Structure 1
């Protein structure tokens, strides 16, 4: 049986580039796919206009690994793993939504932990120096791995491609209704935009507020 995630597509629901989905048992919206509710085809087809159904298999094949800055603390990490042998290098004061940014092997940076370079303990000082003026923060890999989560970002998915063959058709967005007012001079209808462009063409009244 096909399963679906339901995404809240409203502008405020995005966390950086990350998509937000209905949480398990109606527990708000989450970016962590492990905490997202799964729906049947019938349930997904009856979604609200602002909710977008994504096939689970499609999304799961395009996940990134993110680390929410709200749930990690460097002192705690070092205390828990004093003898750590490998470290991830984090770029300070940089985020994608709540997700920390990591150094890659080619010297670039990413919010996808699965693309981050793992640095041996003996190489951390040298690697921090290669990060430029801002430097980097070295996090024990074992700590960060346990605080990572699966998520999906908008640039990695395409809803038309995802829904192909499912039979689900998204409703066409409704065009906002034009605001209309009555001319205070003659009572004829005049648009909100029109009252700023010219006086009433019927009676000449100025309808600007």
Structure 2
């Protein structure tokens, strides 16, 4: 099977998360929702807008991590959720990476769920008393998705590794001359206002 590509919208990110063309239109940080293109289709998008960069799907997924978008969480659902092992992920209150929750990790704050601690019982309640938010592990795992930090993506490096390169696109540069005309004396451009005065270059009259 030929190599497939995500298409990154390199103009902006959501926090540290890169955005990609979504199935059905628009953009998403969720790799599971992002469309995958053949090289030919990805190249057509790039030719239309050079900020849409083809990224090899394998290269991108190899650099992914697991994020949890707070927009898809509700406290009422979480409160009735019951984990079989009674464990919780511990999130910082009112702190996000874009829309993703920031967790207490083994070596400090992290937006990567894979690095988050998940205590249970009294240990978890201790964090709640310190102002952290507790989210049941199963509830959070079901709402997690693969994302990738834009800082980890280098399209030139990624394409070079598979023997691809983006073509150079010639940008047509145009100048707006709609309000200009040529002086009848010297041929230089003059503005509409200058037509009713003597040419500032040669002194010729250009008034109609």
Contact 2:81/2:136, CA 8 A, preserved across alignment: no
Structure 1 position 47, deviation (Å): 2.5
3-state SS, counterpart of residue 80 of structure 2? helix
Partner of 2:195: none
CA distance in 2, matches of 1:115, 1:179: 53
1:41, distance to aligned residue in structure 2 (A): 2.2
Q: Deviations over 1:162-202 (max 9, x none)?
A: 11143432355777959677789x79569xxxxxxxxxx95
1:169 and 2:165 are equivalent in the alignment: yes
**8 Å contact 2:20–2:27 — kept in the other structure?**
yes
Preserved CA contact (<8 Å) 2:56 2:159: yes
- Structure 1 unaligned spans of 5+: 191-200, 204-209
Asked if 2 retains the 8 angstrom alpha-carbon contact of 1:84 and 1:140, the reply is no
Please, which of 46, 49, 52 is the counterpart of residue 48 of structure 1?
A: 46
SS of 1:88's equivalent in the other structure is strand
Residue in 2 that maps onto 1:58:
59
Question: 1:206 matched to which residue of 2?
Answer: none
Q: CA deviation at 1:148?
A: 0.2
Secondary structure at 2:14 match in 1? coil
Give 5+ residue unaligned stretches, structure 2.
Answer: 191-199, 203-208
2:196 paired residue number: none
Q: Give me the TM-score of the superposition, normalised by structure 2.
A: 0.75
Contact kept? 1:180, 1:189, Cα under 8 Å: no
> Quick check: 83-92 or 150-159, which moved more?
83-92
Moved over 6 A (4+): 173-176, 178-184
Larger-Rg structure: 2
**Alignment partner of 2:123: what SS?**
helix
Q: Secondary structure at 1:138's aligned position in 2? A: strand
Find out whether 1:78 has 2:76 as its counterpart.
no
Deviation, 1:97, is 1.1
Q: CA deviation at 1:138?
A: 0.5
Alpha carbons 2:46, 2:54 under 8 Å: kept? no
Deviation string 1:107-127 (CA, Å, 9 cap, x unpaired) is x21111111111122201223
TM-score under structure 1 length normalisation: 0.75
Equivalent position of 1:195 in the other structure: none
Count of aligned pairs between the two proteins: 187
Q: 1:77 to 1:167 in 2, by over 3 A?
A: same
